[in-house]
Amino acid sequence: MAQLARITTDAELPSAAALNDALREASPGEVIASALRAVGRDRLALVSSFGTESAALLKVMADVDPAIPVIFLDTGWLFEETLAYRDTLIAALGLRDVRSIQPSEETLKREDPDRELWFTDPDACCRIRKVEPLARALKSFDAWINGRKRFQGGQRAEIRVVEDDGARLKFNPFANVTPQDIAAIYASAKLPPHPLVASGFRSVGCMPCTSRAESNEDARAGRWRGKGKTECGIHTMKVS
With respect to residue 220, please indicate whether it lies within any of the assigned structural domains.
Answer: no
232 included as an active-site residue: yes
Check whether 30 has a pLDDT greater than 60. Answer: yes
Domain hosting 65: range is 16-209
With respect to residue 216, please indicate whether it lies within any of the assigned structural domains.
Answer: no
Beta bridge partners of 145: 46, 171
With respect to residue 98, please indicate whether it lies within any of the assigned structural domains.
Answer: yes
With respect to residue 1, please indicate whether it lies within any of the assigned structural domains.
Answer: no
With respect to residue 120, please indicate whether it lies within any of the assigned structural domains.
Answer: yes
Confidence of residue 108 (pLDDT cuts 50, 70, 90): very high
**CATH number for 99:** 3.40.50.620
With respect to residue 227, please indicate whether it lies within any of the assigned structural domains.
Answer: no
Average pLDDT score over residue span 1-17:
59
With respect to residue 91, please indicate whether it lies within any of the assigned structural domains.
Answer: yes
With respect to residue 223, please indicate whether it lies within any of the assigned structural domains.
Answer: no
126, 206, 209, 232: which is the annotated catalytic residue? 232
Total domains, the chain: 1
Mean pLDDT of the chain: 90
* pLDDT tens digit sequence for 189-203: 999 999 999 999 988
